[in-house]
């Protein structure tokens, strides 16, 4: 008991420090951008109502462009990281990422269709709507294929996700091949590469409504996820309805991933690398892995977005930066950690 108490106290302290670090990154992000806002002006904007500075360009840049973008980056980072931690624990596989069920490929296909159709009908919200719907459809297709396939359901689910993802990627390639090379194709490619340039308060509100309840539910179910990670037989013997509970977790994670990807595009490596960092900091207990993944993921994506909009005069797609930083760091974790968090 003293050992557990000490470990819990240590994990709690580390999460508090991680939360303070995320808060620091959030505050730092307010100053970063091609449009410079002085510290004194920023304090005025934060301490007064937006209407008081309505005619000043600082108000428009800060309240309607920069602040919703920072919040959106934090929510997307937390959602993708939590989904990655859930999938890795549920499938007992450290190489699983949130797009394992083909959800990201489905979102990209839906977004491509939305970009082409919206250019004809003029409905701006069609792109994220179709991206979300097709992403959800991808998960149900993968689950349905795994359901009717013989063999271990966990393995079949992963293989079915690869099949569905491959099919949707082929369909996406066909759409890009036939799209207008001067208008639709550049828009599709830029959307797929990911970014938060579409951020506004409406998008942030939708993310808050869709993603935050899922994050809260996952945190409340963390102790059951610990049991499920022991294996189907052990979980069943401890009173868990494995099939129903796994399907519930899949729906929650898929809803989060589809919601995030539908508004931000594909942001790779976040859901793969961040859960490993969280496990190295807290161990394998999902009661701490999930909230730590949310915090680290939010801070990581906000940092990458700061680089995306601050390194050059033109915005860099964020997936380029997350891959450039995530791949060597993941290699370092493999060499340094040697899978200790999974033992």
Query: CA-to-CA distance for 191 and 206, rounded, in angstroms?
Result: 19
pLDDT in tens, 241-266: 998 999 999 999 999 999 999 999 99
Question: Residue 39: what pLDDT?
Answer: 79
Residues of the chain with pLDDT under 50: 1-2
| Contact by Cβ (8 Å): 97, 324 | no
Tokens of 138: 């991808």
Question: Residue 70: what pLDDT?
Answer: 96
Kindly write down the DSSP assignment for every residue of 249-288, as one continuous string: HHHHHHHHHHHHHHHH----SHHHHHHHHHHHHH-S-HHH
Query: Cβ neighbours of residue 211 under 8 Å, at least 6 residues apart?
Result: 75, 78, 79, 256, 259, 260
Tell me the residue range of the domain where 311 lies: 2-342
Indicate which CATH number applies to the domain containing 138. 1.10.3470.10
| Contact by Cβ (8 Å): 102, 165 | yes
Question: Residue 54: what pLDDT?
Answer: 60
Question: Residue 1: what pLDDT?
Answer: 39
| Contact by Cβ (8 Å): 138, 103 | yes
Query: CA-to-CA distance for 146 and 24, rounded, in angstroms?
Result: 44
Structural domain count, the chain: 1
Question: Residue 11: what pLDDT?
Answer: 92
Tokens of 60: 């428009």
């Amino acid at each position: 008991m003293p050992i557990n108490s000490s470990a819990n106290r240590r994990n709690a302290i580390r999460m508090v420090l991680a939360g303070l670090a995320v808060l620091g990154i959030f505050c730092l992000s307010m100053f970063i951008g091609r449009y410079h806002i002085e510290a004194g002006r920023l304090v005025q904007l934060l301490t007064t109502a937006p209407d008081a500075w309505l005619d000043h360009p600082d108000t428009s840049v800060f309240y309607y462009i920069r602040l919703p973008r920072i919040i959106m980056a934090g929510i997307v980072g937390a959602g993708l990281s939590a989904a990655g931690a859930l999938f890795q624990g549920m499938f007992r596989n450290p190489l699983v990422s949130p797009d394992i069920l083909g959800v990201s490929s489905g979102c990209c296909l839906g977004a491509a269709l939305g970009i082409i159709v919206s250019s004809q009908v003029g409905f701006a919200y069609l792109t994220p709507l179709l991206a979300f719907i097709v992403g959800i459809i991808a998960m149900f297709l993968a689950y349905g294929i795994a359901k009717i396939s013989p063999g271990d359901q966990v393995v079949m689910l992963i293989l079915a996700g690869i099949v569905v993802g491959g099919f949707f990627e082929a369909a996406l390639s066909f759409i890009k091949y036939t799209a207008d090379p001067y208008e639709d194709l550049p828009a599709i490619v830029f959307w797929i590469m990911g970014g938060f340039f579409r951020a506004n308060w409406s998008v942030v509100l939708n993310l808050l409504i869709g993603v935050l309840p899922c994050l809260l539910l996952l945190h409340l179910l963390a102790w059951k996820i610990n049991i499920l990670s022991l294996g189907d037989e052990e979980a069943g013997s401890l009173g868990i309805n494995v099939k129903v509970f796994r399907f519930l977790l899949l729906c929650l994670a898929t809803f989060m991933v589809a919601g995030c990807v539908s508004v931000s595009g594909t942001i790779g490596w976040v859901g793969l690398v961040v859960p490993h960092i969280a496990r190295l900091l807290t161990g394998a207990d999902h009661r701490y892995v999930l909230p730590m993944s949310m915090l680290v993921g939010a801070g990581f994506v906000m940092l990458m977005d700061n680089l995306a909009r601050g390194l050059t005069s033109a915005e860099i797609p964020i997936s380029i930066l997350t891959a450039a930083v995530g791949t060597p760091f993941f290699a370092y974790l493999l060499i340094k950690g040697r899978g200790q968090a999974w033992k």
